[in-house]
Structure formats: structure tokens, C-alpha cells
Amino acid sequence: MSGGRREILALYKALLRESKKFSSYNYREYAVRRVRDGFRAAKNLTSEVEQEKELQIAKVSLEIIKRQVLLGQLYKSPTLVIE
């Protein structure tokens, strides 16, 4: 894999860390679940091209999550009872 195990692990941790910053419980739980499921599904990829494609998708997703977290902090919603 061209990304290397350390880079992939660092990307996974960064995605989880950013996902946990969502102020809304529903968004937070959804994002964390999607990150875990995505990496679990990509774990079994054997093709170098497919692995690189998934790595690029994860990098783009990290940037999207960062932007969404920032927007969520600007426009906070009321706290749910579950939180």
C-alpha cells in the first residue's frame, strides 16, 4: 500500500477525533460509525489502485468533516436529552 500503515492509522485517528467534535449527538455518532465502517470495509482491499482510491476518499472526507464541525460550532443546536 502506497499510503503506509502509519499514515493510514494517523488518518483513521484524525477522522475519529474530528468526528467526535460535532456538537450534535446525531451527527457525531453517525460520523464515527461511518468512519469505523469505512475503514473496516477497506481493510480487505487487495488492489493497490483500490487502496489508494479509498485513501484519497478518506483524506477528502477529513476535510469535509473539519468544515462541517466548524459550521456546527457556529450554528449550535439545542442539546438533546440523550447528551
CA dist 62 → 23, 46, 55, 79 (Å): 17, 23, 11, 25
Cβ contact 65:10 at 8 Å: no
Percent of the chain with pLDDT over 70: 92
Q: What is the pLDDT of residue 29?
A: 95
CA distance 83 to 69: 17
Q: What is the pLDDT of residue 58?
A: 93
Confidence band for 46, pLDDT divided at 50, 70 and 90: confident
Decide if pLDDT at 2 tops 80.
Answer: no
CA distance 73 to 76: 6
Decide if pLDDT at 14 tops 80.
Answer: yes
Decide if pLDDT at 77 tops 90.
Answer: no
